[in-house]
Chain A
Amino acid sequence: MPGKLKAKVVAGRHLPVMDRASDLTDAFVEVKFGTTTFKTDVCPKSLNPQWNSEWFKFEVDDEDLQDEPLQITVLDHDTYSANDAIGKVYIDIDPLLCSEAATVISGWFPIYDTIHGIRGEINVLVKVDLFNDLNRFRQSSCGVKFFCTTSIPRCFRAVLIHGFVEELVVNEDPEYQWIDRIRTPRASNEARQRLISLMSGELQRKIGLKVLEMGGNAVVGYLQCFDLEGESGLVVRAIGTACTLDKISSTYTAAIVQNLSNSSPSKDMKDSPQAVPSALGCRSTHSSPVHSASSRLSQGFSVSVPTLLFAGMKNRHRSSEGPRARQCRAGFGEEAPGVPLSSGPPTPLRAQTFSSFSPSKSYSRQSSSSDTELSLTPKTARICLSPSSPIHQCKSSPIPTTKVPRSTTPPPLHVSQSDTAMLRKSVSFSEDLLLVASGMGSGGSAGKEAGPLKALLRQQTQSALEQREFPFFTLTGFPPAFLLHVGGVVSARSVKLLDRIHNPALGNTRSYKLLDWNSFTADEPETRDAWWEELRQEIKSHAKALGCHAVVGYSESTSICEEVCILSASGTAAILSSRFVQDGALDTDHRLSRQQASVFTTGAEKGEGVMGSSASLGFEDVAPPACGFCHIPYDELNMPFPAQLTYCHCCRRHKVPDVLFTTIDVPTEANVTGKGCLIQARLCRTKKKGQGEGNATAISNLLPFLEYELHTQLLNKLKLRGMNALFGLRVQISVGDTMLLGLASATGVYLTALPSPGGIQIAGKTPNDITYEQHISNMQKKINDTIAKNKELYEINPPEFVEEVIGSPIPEPRQRSRLFRSHSESSDEVLELDLSHGKKDAFVLEIDDTDAIEDIHSLLTDAPTPPGFYSCNTEIMPGIYNWTSGLQMFTSVRVFRLSNANLTNQGLNKIFNDLCENLLKSLYFKLRSMVPCCLCHVNFIVAVPEDELIQVAVTAVAMSFDKDQSQENGRQSGDKTLMKAITENEEQLQFPLELSAESPSNPLSCAKGLSEVSGPLPSARAPSVDHSSFTDRCSSWIEQLRLKAHTIRRGSIKTMSSLEKASPVPEGRSRSLRSNRSCPGSSITVVKMTPLSFIPGAKIIKYLGIINMFFIRETTSLREEGGVSGFLHSFIAEVFAMVRAHVAALGGNAVVSYSMKECVFMENPNKNQAQCLINVSGDAVIFIRESELEATPSQTQSGNVQTSSNGEGT
């Protein structure tokens, strides 16, 4: 009984009128947790009732605390008839379970009703008293922190990055139960909301368990998704990266160590009888009869079994087949590493997978180490051994222990496996030493001395990663020196058939419990698991083919249309440094991991001390070679696909590809020329309506072409902009009844290290025709002009390199240092003579059919962003550093109806393309008052909700930046961040560029900061040099625009930026008064929302927990609510409001890494009905303005909101 949950209902306001006669309401509140319910008194005849209830106490398991939300229902008392529900509030109490997150939830929550929307607000206080869990069999994972942020959160430091965690839970969808026919829509919606809330809680708890198992204390890059499979059920799945995080500059390190040692004994013991569920990668929790009592939800699984019988249709789809045949097409061969299509190892076997019944098994057995079935054996073997591990206390002994299970792992297909295991053994003693050494030498520089050691280390990491089931990381941003090389994008898709429920009687929830769930055990979730496992194996093998041992920026998604489901997974193949990676062996043995963690921690601490002084050398020296990640990880002579390699334009020692595609953010150390831009490839393909297998086959036949064309489009558009690399690539394929939609978004940049892209050459097929020739040359001219214009627009003027002269005089000091640095890298690269290369050829587009003409047209129709605007789908735009605090997060949704069903592919393409373009144009127009600004993290979600509908939803943030002060202050801000870095040591090391990018230029605080600096300034100034130099180039039109915008902006949408000190004082004062949390009666905290992991010009001082909310809204009076637009508009606004309210109640003032995962909209205008489901997530944080931070350092610790909202006011 490890927890006591306490809740108190204080008051309500703005309640709706429930009694027509009196125009008033007799409201009371039910507070429910699990099965316990409390009620307040009725507060008669008031729209602003004051209940001031006693503390309602719930004594519950921490497992329940994690799974269940607190349910608060506001009702209207009725003497004669049943009480009417006004609305509900679900409060996720998970943030209270973390010791360092929020301690109390208190504030006004919107009372939400799925039919009426928000109906007033209620003020609630919630607290949790958590006792130490001494139960060795516990199933809870309290204390594990979750972050949506896909990089190491700002006020933490990564001690270890353990790796991939995933889980999924399945249940019936209440919406599709037979009972739905007799209950009200409201009841159905609420059942669904509650169920999903419960399922996400359970999912999070289970993932947390896995993390504890791995020895971690946090999940970073937590990505949770719902698959609404309709009649076949509801899947909630999540992936993330387990990490051991350490709070910067606090005594927290000790706490972790203690925490770990506290909890470990219980875990050790748990491994014995019940270990099966907790073993890594073996998801059998639900099938174990031992804890049937404890898992409520899992009962659902058993039912789903008969209902979700696998159809037998298993359409394994390999993305590489189709296009392979077409590779002969000119130019495609050059497309190089990022090519998802050609990235896979050419396995002839896969070509036949379409027809084979269950090819996955044979496939995975053939290509990789752990097959779904096979893996069971070794896993159990591993677990059997583990009880013995606690005995081994000394450092060396766990190694042999863990080696045993490894030897039982499936037959090593790659010979290296056993070798590396050996190797690790030999290295293991030196490993700790090494880590300490590298810590002391502060990252990269250590490698210089320890060249050979590092090589060893790297091999060892590689093996450690390889032995992991899935060496995947959901992170997109990394600590410096973590990402060594990037291979390119790897992706895999598969088309699956969901089966229908055959026995409707099973739909009844009640019957779940009656079923013996061992009989047809949880076969069903295993099926879903197997699907994903298959896909992940494929990804893994792709990565291997690229010579990489890990996949970063990994994500998974689905698209469902009736019974067909497309599963997609994608990531970026990479080679990682061992610095943060834990030995694979530790996955099962946390004891060792603990030890290692602590060893490492001390090492790192030592490193900190050293670094404090070494930072005085300027962090140029600390940073790893900026071009390192561009160097090819694969063997040049044995390339997985045709690519054109050149010597790196930065260090001139290593080979780089001509184009690089990745799914990650632009690494902070990357050398980027000019600015980037959002690049989208859009495609629409018609398909015949179909049923079952035929339909699935048709889709899987279409997929490769779709993907190929998307890729070609991307590449063309990239070249058209004179750029050579794509970051944050996200390819979405959405399936509808009559069409397939493909949307690929990425941020194009010019990486200085990569060769300059050749132009686009158009070649005609019939050279004799003169008019045709003329047409071609016209087009060619247009293209050339566009490229030139784009180069100017994005300020791409790379330093001229003469290809032949290798080892030429180095033009920039920066590069010299980089060059120098890269010596350490060289040791582990296989150096080959470069014979391949001469002059680069232009990219040739051959116009052989109307298709290609269409392509070129579409290429040229992409309108450039209007002056003053930039856009990207990565966190920030390379080349922009001086953000102001102007911030506007938004969601925009559009639905298009295709009036004519008989559209051609081209027609559809045009419509889809226009839709996206117009949407972007609208966004630019809407946000024109923020100019100069950049749309960051532009995230498109496309869907085909109905036959003739295309839905596009965009979530992004517009951030304005400063042109005026850039020159002076860009420099100053650079200095300032460095100073901060020195005082806060590690943080700077991790995000050198981002930090300087986000810090607002504040001369005053800078002056203050100056006095604190210990290191010499000149070197500290170095990183900012290029900021200012770039801003030098800023043309005057931007300034003009800004001036224009400035006047508009002053009193407009934006909350005042901290730079605009001129803002009227009384306003600031009134705001800060209002947002004072001490008087919640009249207070509304301003809550910022952003999809980014940071807030420009501000420092996040506390993470309060994850926000993960799911809402359903339905209406039966669509016209009255302003039609579909009015309905959705108010719903999205309501969702925002509820997110803000929950964040404010946790004591926060911002949501970072916000994303809208799902927006399912359905309408039936004939019946005047519509329904919408929205799922959003993010991290609740407290931030304070950097100016405030320096002014009131004492308040940093207390972290009160008032400070930060004051900042808002200024």
Chain B
Amino acid sequence: MSVELDVFVGNTTIMDKEVYQLWLNGYTVNDAVKVRMEGGVMEECEASAEVLLSDTMDQFRTFQMCERLLQNPAKLANQLLFQIPPDRQAMLIERYYAFADAFVREVLGKKLSKGTKKDLDDVSAKTGITLKSCRRQFDNFKRVFKVVEELKGPLVENIRQHFLLPDQLARDYAAIVFFANNRFETGKKKLQYLTFQDFAFCAGQLINNWTVGAVDNMVEDMDVDLDKEFLQDLKDLKILIADKDLLDQHKSLVCVALRGKTKVFNEMETNFKNLSRGLVNIAAKLTNPKDVRDFFIDLVEKFIEPCKSDRWTATDVNLYLTHYTNSAHILDSFKYQTVWTRYMGVIKSCILRMYHE
């Protein structure tokens, strides 16, 4: 005796948020039932395991049928098969495109290719996220990447409109796309302490300030590629470290400004040249794609780590960077003020975000 067939179809499609999450997490039906049982739905509603199984199966099937639509969220609002209230639709889409931080850290900056997809089982093993869920998240990244790749206009806006995502999620996707496109290295051991949100923040900074779109907002790939001209201009900043006088002048200006204001003044004073060299070198090398990829690593190695070893606080860093940036403006012989501002603005906020105490 067995149930051969068991379906339930409502005029308004019934979807349980909790079960949806279990499905998204890639649970099998049986595992999901176990989780639900532990969650105590049964006691709440006097249900038996059988009932729970039937319900879970049914919902999983519904989600599966919906998945095709979820991959093209605009269709969800225009299809006739499922009658889903708009607020539910939004929930379905949002959760479908949500991703685990642990997962995204693994693939952030990697090429969204078949090769990467093949390695997902390693990612799954490492993060404890089911392979199924990893695949969904990876496919989401890839799908969004493919769609926005060919679109003009602001990246975040495009993602939001095309995938009907809430603002924050759209920004996160923009970051993912941006990282994937520029292949920023994020997986190195030294970068492990950084969260996805740290990177997403930095990506936001880069997109808003360093890309083509930051100056011209109707170009293809405008938010995805860094502004080549700007990168070229960055080479001019080398003068700050190449010219001995300028370097000393800069240092003394910063030291004057900071004296007595920080506990780590001495360390700062000794390290000034090193730090400045580091930052300016990063700028100068950005024309080389290989060095673009190492941007975050460089920031950590050349700036964050030395400061850390000298036990700077975040306030110290902030103070230092503010004066470091501003002092350069006072230097008479330094002519690249605009580029300097555009560069240091991003660097400062990125470093501050990445500087975990």
Q: Do A and B bind each other?
A: yes
Which residues on A are within 8 Å of B, measured CB to CB? 13-14, 108, 110, 118, 121, 866, 888-900, 911, 918, 921-928, 949, 951, 1051-1056, 1064, 1067, 1070-1071, 1074, 1082, 1084, 1086-1089, 1122, 1124-1126, 1128-1130, 1132-1134, 1136-1138, 1140-1141, 1161
Measured CB to CB, the residues of B under 8 A from A are 1-15, 17, 44-48, 50-52, 54-55, 57-58, 61-62, 64-65, 75, 77-83, 85-88, 91
Q: Is the CB of A1055 within 8 A of B12?
A: yes
Cα of A925 to Cα of B82 in the assembled complex, Å: 21
Shortest distance from the beta carbon of B75 to any chain A beta carbon, whole Å: 7
Q: A1088 to B11, Cβ gap below 8 A?
A: yes
Indicate which residue in A13, A889, A900 contacts B11 across the interface (CB closer than 8 Å): A889
- Residue from A926, A1087, A1088 in contact with B14 in the complex, judged by beta carbons closer than 8 Å: A926
Q: Which A residues lie within 8 Å of B91 (CB)?
A: 1051
5 residue pairs bridging A and B, Cβ less than 8 Å apart: A898-B1, A1074-B77, A1084-B77, A1124-B4, A1138-B80
- Which residues does chain A contribute within 8 Å of B87, judged by CB atoms? 1051, 1064, 1067
State in angstroms the CA–CA spacing of A911 and B64 once bound together.
Answer: 31
Give Cα A899 to B4, complex, Å. 11
CB neighbours of B77 from chain A (8 A): 1074, 1082, 1084
Q: In the assembled complex, which residues on chain B have CB atoms less than 8 Å from the CB atom of A888?
A: 10-12, 14
Given contacts A924-B45, A949-B4, A1140-B83, contact A1132 B9 (CB under 8 A): yes
Instruction: Please tell me if the beta carbons of B11 and A1136 are within 8 angstroms of each other in the complex.
Output: yes
Q: Are A1124 and B5 in contact (CB under 8 A)?
A: yes
A833 CA to B157 CA, complexed, in Å: 87
- Cβ-defined partner of A1129 (8 Å) among B45, B47, B61: B61
Q: Which of A110, A895, A922, A1055 has the most CB of B within 10 A?
A: A922
Q: Output the residue of B5, B44, B61, B83 with the most chain A CB within 10 A.
A: B5
Bound CA span A256–B4, Å: 53
Minimum CB–CB distance from B273 to chain A (whole Å) comes to 56
Partner of A893, one of B5, B13, B81: B5
**A889 and B10 in contact, given A1087-B83, A1134-B81 (Cβ under 8 angstroms):** yes
Contact between A1082 and B5, CB atoms less than 8 A apart: no
Q: For A923, A1055, A1126, which residue has the most chain B Cβ atoms within 10 angstroms?
A: A1055
A1129-B88 contact, Cβ under 8 Å, with A921-B51, A925-B52, A1124-B5: no
Q: How far is the CB of A1045 from chain B (nearest CB, A)?
A: 11
Alpha-carbon gap, A1138 to B79, bound state (A): 11
Given the known inter-chain contacts A866-B45, A926-B8, A1053-B13, please indicate yes or no for A1071 contacting B3, CB distance below 8 A.
no
Q: Complex formed: what's the CA distance from A925 to B19 in Å? A: 13
Complex: how many Å from CA A1133 to CA B61?
12
Question: Which of A894, A1054, A1134, A1138 is the most central at the interface, judged by chain B CB atoms within 10 Å of its CB?
Answer: A894
Q: How far is the CA of A1055 from the CA of B54 in the complex (A)?
A: 24
Q: How far is the CA of A1086 from the CA of B84 in the complex (A)?
A: 9
- Rounded to whole angstroms, the CA-CA distance of A1089 and B83 in the bound complex is 11
**What is the distance, in angstroms, from B143's C-beta to the closest C-beta of chain A?**
16
Q: B24 to nearest A CB, angstroms?
A: 17
Instruction: Given A921-B48, A925-B51, answer yes or no on A1056-B7 (Cβ-Cβ < 8 Å).
Output: no
15 new A-B pairs (CB below 8 Å) besides A1122-B64, A1129-B9, A1133-B13? A866-B45, A897-B4, A922-B51, A926-B10, A926-B14, A928-B45, A949-B4, A1051-B88, A1052-B17, A1082-B78, A1084-B80, A1132-B7, A1136-B9, A1137-B83, A1161-B5
Chain A positions within 8 Å of B57 at CB level? 1125
Q: Do B88 and A922 touch (CB < 8 A)? A: no
The reply to whether A1128 and B81 form a contact with Cβ atoms under 8 Å apart is no
Shortest Cβ distance from B65 into A: residue: A1130
User: Which B-chain residue is minimally distant from A121 (CB atoms)?
Assistant: B80
Instruction: Select one of B13, B51, B85 contacting A918, CB under 8 A.
Output: B51
Partner of A118, one of B7, B58, B81, B85: B81
Decide: A922 and B55 in contact? CB cutoff 8 A. Answer: yes
Q: Which of B15, B51, B86 contacts A1053 (CB 8 A)?
A: B15
A1129 touching B14, Cβ below 8 Å: no
CB contacts (< 8 Å) of B55 on chain A: these are: 922, 925-926
Give the complex CA separation of A1055 and B83 in angstroms.
10
A918 to B79, CA, bound (A): 33
What is the bound-complex CA distance between A365 and B4, given in angstroms? 49
Smallest CB–CB gap between B203 and chain A, Å? 29
B326 CB to nearest chain A CB (Å): 44
Task: List 4 A-B pairs, minimum CB-CB distance, nearest first.
Answer: A895-B5, A890-B10, A895-B4, A1132-B9
What CA separation (Å) do A452 and B80 show in the bound complex?
A: 60
Nearest-neighbor residue (CB-CB) of B79 within chain A: A14
Decide yes or no: A890 and B65 within 8 Å by CB, A925-B51, A1053-B88, A1084-B77 being known contacts: no
**What's the minimum C-beta distance from A948 to chain B, rounded to whole angstroms?**
9
- Provide the residues of chain A in CB contact with B81, threshold 8 Å: 110, 118, 1130, 1133-1134, 1137
Give Cα A1134–Cα B81 distance, bound, in whole angstroms. 6
Bound CA–CA A1051/B54 (angstroms): 23
Query: Which residues of A have CB within 8 Å of B50?
Result: 918
A922 / chain B contacts, CB cutoff of 8 Å: 8, 51, 54-55
How long is the Cα–Cα vector from A836 to B198 in the complex, in angstroms?
A: 90
Contact A110 B80 (CB under 8 A): yes
C-alpha spacing A1054/B88, complex, angstroms:
10
Judge whether B3 and A895 touch: CB under 8 Å. Answer: yes
CB pair A896–B65 under 8 Å, yes or no, is no
**Which residue, of B2, B44, B77, B87, has the highest number of chain A Cβ atoms within 10 A?**
B87
Q: Do A1054 and B12 touch (CB < 8 A)?
A: yes
**A896:B7 contact, CB within 8 angstroms:** no
Q: Which of A896, A926, A1055 is B3 in contact with, Cβ under 8 Å?
A: A896
- For A907, give the chain B residue with the smallest CB separation: B1
Task: Name which residue of chain A comes closest to B72, CB basis.
Answer: A14
Q: Is the CB of B78 within 8 A of A13?
A: yes
Q: Provide the residues of chain A in CB contact with B65, threshold 8 Å.
A: 1126, 1129-1130, 1133
- Residue of chain B at shortest CB distance from A117: B81
Q: Write out the residue numbers on chain B whose beta carbons fall within 8 Å of the beta carbon of A1087.
A: 11, 83
What's the Cα separation between A949 and B1 when bound, in Å? 10
- Tell me which of B46, B50, B58 has the highest count of chain A C-beta atoms within 10 A of its own C-beta: B46
Measured between alpha carbons, how far is A1129 from B66 in the docked complex, in Å? Answer: 12
A residues less than 8 Å from B82 (CB atoms): 1133, 1137
Q: Which residues of A contact B4 (CB under 8 A)?
A: 895-897, 949, 1124
Looking at the assembled complex, report how far the CB atom of A744 sits from the nearest CB atom of chain B, in whole angstroms: 23
Chain A hits for B14, CB < 8 A? 888, 890, 926-927, 1053
* Bound form: Cα–Cα A1053–B51 in Å: 19
Q: A896-B1, A1074-B77 are in contact. Are A1125 and B11 (CB under 8 A)?
A: no
Highest count of chain A CB atoms <10 Å: which of B7, B45, B61, B64? B7
Give every chain A residue within 8 A of B46 (Cβ-Cβ): 866
What's the Cα separation between A900 and B1 when bound, in Å? 7
A89: min CB distance to chain B, Å: 12
Q: In the bound complex, do residue A899 and residue B1 qualify as a contact, i.e. CB atoms below 8 Å apart?
A: yes
User: B60 to chain A: closest CB distance in Å?
Assistant: 10
Contacts A1125-B57, A1129-B65 given: A925-B1 contact, CB under 8 Å? no
User: A865: nearest residue on chain B (CB-CB)?
Assistant: B46
Chain B residues near A1129 (CB-CB < 8 A): 7, 9, 58, 61-62, 65
CA distance A1122 to B67 in the complex (A): 14
Contact of B47 among A896, A921, A1074 (CB under 8 A): A921
Candidate in B12, B57, B62 with the most chain A CB atoms within 10 angstroms: B12
